[in-house]
Structure 1
Amino acid sequence: MNALALRAANTVPTVASDADWVRRLRELHLITPLRIFVILAAAWLIGFVIRLVVNRMIRGLERAHAMLPGRVDKARFEQRRRTLSTVLKSSLVALVWLTAIISVIGELGVNLGAFVATATIIGGALAFGAQTLVRDLIAGFFMIAEDQFGVGDLVDAGVVVGTVERVSLRVTKLSDDQGRVWYLPNGQITRVANLTQGVGRTVVDVTVPLTEDLGRVGSRLLEIAVSLRADPSVAPMLTGDPQFVGVEELHPDAAVVRVVLPCMPAGREPVRRAFLSAVAEAERLGVLREVEIEGGSTPESAPTGSSPYGSGAEIPPTV
């Protein structure tokens, strides 16, 4: 009976035996490696969960994109998806592993106070020197995330109006109508007008002497605008019926009338040029003196005896 009681007592763990076990592990230098292993395993597990959550968010964006066919170009959406996924996963996982590395350094007995102070000084110096780069990267991330513009869009970035050729986190590449290539750091793009998104239209202002019948001039301009539907080069760009808005401005000897031609955003300039060419070739339009596109510079009065459509252009005489 006493032997059984003694054997049962020996099988019950005690605080002293646990302390001996921990002490033996410490003597074998296994406590620190075990803690480091747990820290690294936890960091890997948290990184794995972050990747799963981000991938689920991206799949939600893909489902939303599938519900809006044709609104966003496939290549453009793929760029957004890839950028958002890479930036979110990389930044969050890097933060987790940075915390894990600091914890491991502490487990190795390094003075964290001195380490953090040194890292703070180095990080501050790097941040001061690379603040422009950081600003460009942050601005580029939000540009892509908010889909402000994409490859192929015609944009007005303030210093240049051009077509977007490439968008990255740091820089945006544009090409203007003269073939020049512009590289704009994203942090320096303080405002941008996307001329491709939304509803497009071409606005043409025509100055007509007050002695002319404005109703007749408006009807003739509408006939010319409607005739553009027979032009295969611009007909696919037209999206609606032209409108004669009427008198836009009134001067002592002339009135400015406006014609609006609905078109695709990318077709503003081609439609405008086609309309002006049709006007130049039309009969009974010698009353027109100057034309301008909305957003362009204010036109100067054509000199006496010159053609309002440029040097060398002739207006057929009124029959």
Structure 2
Amino acid sequence: MTPAPTAALPGAAVPDQPTCASDAGSWCAEFYRVTNSDFLARSADTIVSTTFNVTLIVVVCVVARFLIHRAINRIVDGATNSRISRLLGRAPRLRSGSQVAVTPRRAQRARTIGSVLRSISSVVILTVGAIMVLAEFGVALAPILASAGIVGVAVGFGAQNLVRDFLSGMFMLLEDQYGVGDIIDVGEASGVVEAVGLRITTLRALNGTVWYVRNGEILRVGNMSQGYAVAIIDVPLGHTADVPAATELAERTATARIAEEDLADVVLEPPKVLGVDRLGPEGVTLRLTIKVKPGEQFSVQRAVNAAIADALEEANVPRPLLVPTADFRPSAS
């Protein structure tokens, strides 16, 4: 007689299911009950542990990025509000003892550097997090890192000008070579700085032309607005003029002009008479200098020049002779 089939014992594994599925309360049993998949059930422990680790890495990266960005923002806000400078005792002071307000130039420099630091921190955190996630999935990182190094070298050679512009822009910002509102000369272009970026500096020339200068191409910078400026006034005289008397008249007129309301607030020191600066066939040139606030040298120079010219004309001081040129033809009068 054929023996009767024995009934399956309670809790025993069914022949077509993985052995671990019979372990009540295990991840294998839960995955098999939900998906009815042998592969997912056998890999249940790995899937759960990997998912937990990946989630933990992502959370840590997000929290680290948030905390670092918050710290950078607090530092930038402190720099723009002069809070850090007051704590360090480095805030500049006026003669009266009050602290100088933070300039827009310093605020822009702080915000630009803060933006760069935030970008760098984000790239570093995301790169480290991606590498750790790939390691959790068992991906071989050595070939990837080697390939990334080769690609980085190739990109570095192709974008070396771009890298140079960025590095030059960083150093210009850190060293405070110039800022928005400064009048600078960078060789091929000169004018008022309208924007300072990590790659491009924007200048507006006197005639309104906007120049976009790559930071990596700037070899030298002449800043006419850093700290203070000097207005240079050249006074042309004829050879027959009484130079001492004309010098005294020019100094007196310049002193009176800068004491007026429209110039008194921008002039820092009384005019200095340097004396005869040039002697030529057309006449003699006197030179005066006036120390003024940054960017105000041209307006002061024009105003004092006009005042001295009127004073010399009223005093009948001889003016330089007109030197004829090859194309000069006197009038028939």
Give the TM-score, by structure 1 length.
0.72
Q: Which ranges in structure 1 are unaligned for 5 or more consecutive residues?
A: 1-20, 290-300, 306-319
* Structure-1 residue corresponding to 2:110: 81
Q: How many residues align?
A: 273
| Structure 2 equivalent of residue 50 of structure 1 | 68
1:1-319 aligned within 5 A: 28-29=45-46, 30-61=48-79, 62=81, 63-64=83-84, 67-68=91-92, 69-70=99-100, 72-73=102-103, 75-206=104-235, 212-229=241-258, 234-248=263-277, 257-282=286-311, 283-284=314-315, 286-289=317-320, 303=323
1:135-167 alpha-carbon deviations (Å, 9 max, x no partner): 222322333344332222211222222011122
Question: Structure 1: how far apart are the matches of 2:42 and 2:301?
Answer: 84
Distance 1:248 1:169, change over 3 A: same
| Contact 1:157 1:191 (8 Å CA) reproduced | yes
Name the SS for the 2:296 alignment partner.
helix
How far apart, in 2, do the equivalents of 1:25 and 1:193 lie?
72
CA contact (8 A) 1:65 1:72 kept: no
CA distance in 1: counterparts of 2:165 and 2:215, whole angstroms = 5
Equivalent pair of 1:279/1:285 in contact (CA under 8 Å): no
* Matched position secondary structure for 2:295: helix
Closer/same/farther in 2, CA of residues 220 and 304 from structure 1, 3 Å limit: farther
Q: Would the alpha carbon gap of residues 178 and 122 (structure 1) be closer, same or farther in structure 2, given more than 3 Å must change?
A: same
1:155 and 1:194 in contact (8 A); partners too: yes
Aligned equivalents of 2:279, 2:187: Cα separation in 1: 31
Would you say the 8 A contact 1:164–1:175 is kept in 2?
Answer: yes
CA distance in 2, matches of 1:168, 1:244: 41
Distance in 2, Cα, partners of 1:95 & 1:214: 70
| SS of aligned partner of 1:28 | helix
Structure 1 residues 285 and 143: CA distance shift in structure 2, 3 A: farther
Question: CA offset at residue 221 of structure 1?
Answer: 1.0
Cα displacement string for residues 114-141 of structure 1 (whole angstroms, at most 9, x for unaligned residues) = 2112212222222222222222223223
Q: Contact (CA 8 Å) 2:237, 2:317: kept in 1 or not?
A: no
CA distance in 1, matches of 2:84, 2:66: 25
Identify if the C-alpha distance between structure 1 residues 118 and 46 changes in structure 2 by more than 3 Å, giving closer, same or farther: same
Counterparts of 2:165 and 2:63 in 1: how far apart (Å)?
A: 32
SS of residue paired to 2:233: strand
Change in CA separation of 1:72 and 1:25 when aligned onto 2, cut-off 3 Å: farther
Query: Over residues 54-101 of structure 1, what are the superposed CA-to-partner deviations in whole Å (9 max), with x where a residue is unaligned?
Result: 24433542314674454542x434322322222112202311220121
Q: Percent identity?
A: 33
Distance 2:183 2:280 in 1: 35
Structure 1 residues 52 and 265, CA gap change in structure 2 (3 angstroms): closer
**By how many angstroms is 1:222 displaced?**
0.7
The one-letter amino acid paired with 2:195 is R
Q: Which amino acid aligns with 2:56?
A: V
Structure 2 portions without partners, runs of 5+: 1-25, 29-40, 93-98, 326-333
Give the match's secondary structure for 1:265.
Answer: coil
Change (3 A) 1:185 1:259: same
Shift of 1:209: 6.4
**Which has the higher Rg, Structure 1 or Structure 2?**
2
Structure-2 change in CA distance of 1:148 and 1:114 (3 Å): same
Q: Is the 8 A contact 2:282 2:322 kept in 1?
A: no
2:3 matched residue in structure 1: none
TM-score calculated relative to the size of structure 2 = 0.69
Give the distance between the partners of 1:285 and 1:189, measured in 2 at CA.
Answer: 49
